[in-house]
Amino acid sequence: MQSVHKTVVWFDEVNKGDIALVGGKGANLGEMTQSGFPVPNGFAVTVASYDLFLERNEIAKKISEILKVVDVNKSDELQSVSKKIEHIIVTSEIPKEVIMGMVERGGKLHTKHIPNTGKYTLLEEIQKNVDKNASIMTDNYAGYTQLSKYGYHHFSVNHSASEYTRGEIHTQNIEGVWSQLKRGITGVYRHVSKEYLQSYSDEFSWRYNHRNDINIFDSLLKQVAEVKILKSSQLSPIQY
The pLDDT tens digits of the residues spanning 82-126 come to 999 999 999 888 778 889 999 999 999 999 999 888 888 899 999
Residues found in the chain: 240
pLDDT at 3: 43
Q: Strand (E) positions, the chain?
A: 8-10, 43-45, 98-103, 109-114, 135-138, 153-156, 165-166, 169-170
Residue 80, domain extent: 57-95
Total number of domains in the chain: 3
51 and 61 part of one domain: no
pLDDT at 84: 92
More confident residue, 72 or 174: 174
124 and 143 part of one domain: yes
Is residue 164 predicted with pLDDT exceeding 90? yes
Does residue 229 sit within a domain?
no
Strands 153-156 and 135-138: parallel
pLDDT at 18: 93
Does residue 179 sit within a domain?
yes
pLDDT in tens, 193-209: 778 889 999 999 988 99
Report the C-alpha gap between 74 and 81 in whole angstroms: 11
Is residue 2 predicted with pLDDT exceeding 60? no
Helix H or strand E segment including 19: helix 19-34
72 and 47 part of one domain: no
100 to 44, 188, 190, 205: CA distances (angstroms): 30, 21, 20, 12
